[in-house]
Structure formats: C-alpha cells, structure tokens
Amino acid sequence: MSEAPTKQETEIPQDARDKARELGWEDGLMESALAKGFSLQEIWQALRANVDGATARQFLQSEGASFVRPDFNWTKVPTEWGIRARPADPELGLTIGDLNIGTYGDIPDVWHNRSEIARGSYPAAANEDMGYTIFDKATVWADCVVPLYEIAIRDRWVSATDLPWASLEHLPDDMERAVCQVMTELSDRAYFQGALLSGWLPEISYGYLELKLFLSTVIYDLSRHCEAFRKRALSNGGGLGLQAPTDYNRAAREARSYAELIDVLFVQDSVLLTFFKNGDLFAQNQLERDMYALCARDRQRIMDYQIERLKHYLFKLPERREEQNLYFVRGEHRMVKDWADPVVAEPLAVILGGGKDKIEAGRAKLQEFRKLQVHEYVDNLAKATFFRDSLNPRMKDLLES
C-alpha cells in the first residue's frame, strides 16, 4: 500500500505549483515555507506579487524568515469586559459621566502610574515616565468637573458671530477711552490666566482625565474672553489702553503648587464673576451686555469648580486648612492693590459716573460695587467651608462700611 501524502502536500494546490514553477521556484521551496510557519495565503501573496525563485529562496534562508504567529495576548488582558455605556439623559447624549461605570468609574485617591496610560486600561510591561508631578486626587479634584465639562462644550459661543458688532454706536470720547481701558485689563487677565493654567495642565496625571478635560474648556473659555474684550476695544473708534497692573499675575505665576495657584486665582475668579454678573452696571450698549452675560456664564463654571475643589481638599486634608490662609492672604493683598491702581479704578469710576466730569459720583458707586465683590467672595469661601479669620484689612473695611 502506498503511503498517504503529507498534510502539507495535500494543502498546496496544483495551480500554486504551476505558478511557482513559472517564477523559477525550485521543488520543495513551498514546503520549506510552510515548515517555517508561513501560511498558504502568504505564499499565494508572494506568487501573485511575482516574487521569483531566487528572491524567495534568499528570504527563506535569512534569519528573519521564521514566522511568528500572533498570540493575541491583547485579547486576554484582565480589564472589565462586556461594558455597555448608555446615556442617563437621552437629551444630553452619551456623556463622560455615563462612562464612569464598573471599574472604569474608579477614580483613585492616588494615581500611581507615571505614563500616559488611559484610566481603566491594562499597563504594558514597561512604560516611560512622562513627567507628571500631580498624583493626589485631593489636590485637583471636584466631582462637578464631570457635568461641567458637558455644559461647557454645550454652551460654547463665538464672539465673531454671537455678539452684535454692527449695533455699536458712537460714545463720547471719555466714555470710549474708559471702556477701552477696562477691555484692555480684562483681556490681559483672561489671556494670562489661560496661559498659566495651560502650563499646569501637563503636570496633572492621566488618572484624573475628566478634570483635565474640564480645565481644557476653561483655557478655551479664557482665550475666547481675551479675544472678545480685545475686539471690543478695537471695534468702536477707540483702541487698546495702558497695560493692566501685573502684581496679581506675578503672585499667581510664583505659585509653587497647584493648591497655592488655585487659591490665589480663587480671589480673582470670584471678583470677576461678580463683575460679569453685574455687567449691566458697566455696559454702554447691548453688545457689552451680551458679552458680559456670556462671560458670566463661563466664569460661573470656573467658580463652581473652585468652590467644590477647595471643599474637597479641606475635607480630605484638614491639616492643610491653616496653610490655605497664607495663599489667600497673598491673593487678597494683590487684588486690593490692583483695585487702588488708577489704571483699574478710574475708568470704572468714569463709566459708573457717566463721564470724567462725574467721576466722584462714580467713585462712590465703585465703592459700593467693591463691597458687593467682597461680600460675594466671602460667601463663595463659605460655600467651600472656608472662613477667613484674617481677611485683608481693606476688604474687611469694605464689608463694614
């Protein structure tokens, strides 16, 4: 009885052998390729590509010719499988909050991985340190960042088309100069804060992805504010004014930790929110009213984060409560110093008074407005369970006036 043909011999069809003979493949070369682990499909690919016999033989004799079959280890990682994220609110769609289910919703108090691993994925055997420096949830986190991110991308606006630029009308020269000076200051402050936060964003580890996404919207919002204020200064026959004071910016720039930075910015975020919420007091036209209202909506999200982050921080690290006073002292001191600068105070007084010749009446109104800003600032601190036992004397005088 003749011996049955081997499995390899039966798997090589005659048309493949004919094609190989045409290309000068020697007998047994295809069997050799199969023995090295190449599939018949791969041999066919070589034949259809008209690889000649000499080239095929040289490749099979090289060290790299052994075929490594896939082991599909990536299908065996112990991540949670079978997840089906669904929108909790169909009108909002699938939000980042909806993704925080099962183990994927576990946001650890300390994130140990220093690479750019996506939270919930399985780490590779070796990873490079990507230079992150902030790994503690208590330092940066606030639960509100999850919905605030969705609100921010839903409520985004475009200064070029969402503000009625064609509606601007001529203002008296002293009023236009005052408005343009205020716009110069506001544009400077928005630009600087956005740039400063951009520098800190890479320091926060990937474990707190939702916070990083939210801060990205804050940076974008501040860029849009900078743009809108600059446009207003240059759109009605005026121009940019004198550079705003930089003492406050310097205090923020010199922050040595994220907690210090955010505490210093808390002061400015609060007083600016009060300003924008009361924009009707300063607006000279509908465009400015609309602009201040849109900025107030954006700034409210920043303040919501500020309040909840500080509250979370103090709850998790109560031993750091007194330390925060040092940072707020710094921020308050620089803020009242800015308020006393004529570049900041005089244009606001001119606007509130209705002209340079009515600046004294404007100063009285500005005094009342500063009192409101301090009152709301103290209220915002209270919402964060923080009560200043050493409020800046100038701010304290305003409250008691």
| Residue 22 lies in domain | 7-55
Residue 33: predicted pLDDT: 84
The answer to whether position 95 is within a domain reads: no
Number of domains in the chain: 2
317 and 212 in one domain?
Answer: yes
346 and 248 in one domain?
Answer: yes
175 and 41 in one domain?
Answer: no
The answer to whether position 125 is within a domain reads: no
The answer to whether position 296 is within a domain reads: yes
186 and 43 in one domain?
Answer: no
141 and 47 in one domain?
Answer: no
The answer to whether position 36 is within a domain reads: yes
Residue 91: predicted pLDDT: 86
Give the integer Cα–Cα distance in Å for 190 and 176: 21
Residue 63: predicted pLDDT: 57
Q: pLDDT tens for residues 99-144?
A: 999 999 999 999 998 888 889 898 887 778 889 999 999 999 999 9
Residue 66: predicted pLDDT: 54
- Residue 176 near residue 285 (C-beta atoms within 8 A): no
The answer to whether position 25 is within a domain reads: yes
Listed as ranges, residues in the chain with pLDDT below 70 are 1-11, 63-71
Give the integer Cα–Cα distance in Å for 364 and 366: 5
27 and 143 in one domain?
Answer: no
Domain boundary among 40, 55, 70: 55
- Residue 183 near residue 232 (C-beta atoms within 8 A): yes
Give the integer Cα–Cα distance in Å for 378 and 388: 8
257 and 394 in one domain?
Answer: yes
288 and 149 in one domain?
Answer: yes
Give the integer Cα–Cα distance in Å for 316 and 319: 9
Give the integer Cα–Cα distance in Å for 217 and 54: 61
Residue 13: predicted pLDDT: 85
The answer to whether position 82 is within a domain reads: no
Domain boundary among 55, 71, 90: 55
Q: Name the average pLDDT for the chain.
A: 92
CATH code: domain of residue 227: 1.10.620.20
Alpha helices (runs of H) in 110-169, residue ranges in sequence order: 137-140, 145-154, 159-162
Residue 122: predicted pLDDT: 86
The answer to whether position 116 is within a domain reads: no
Q: pLDDT tens for residues 36-86?
A: 778 888 888 888 888 898 888 888 887 555 555 566 778 888 888 999 999
The answer to whether position 127 is within a domain reads: no
Q: What is the pTM of this model?
A: 0.83
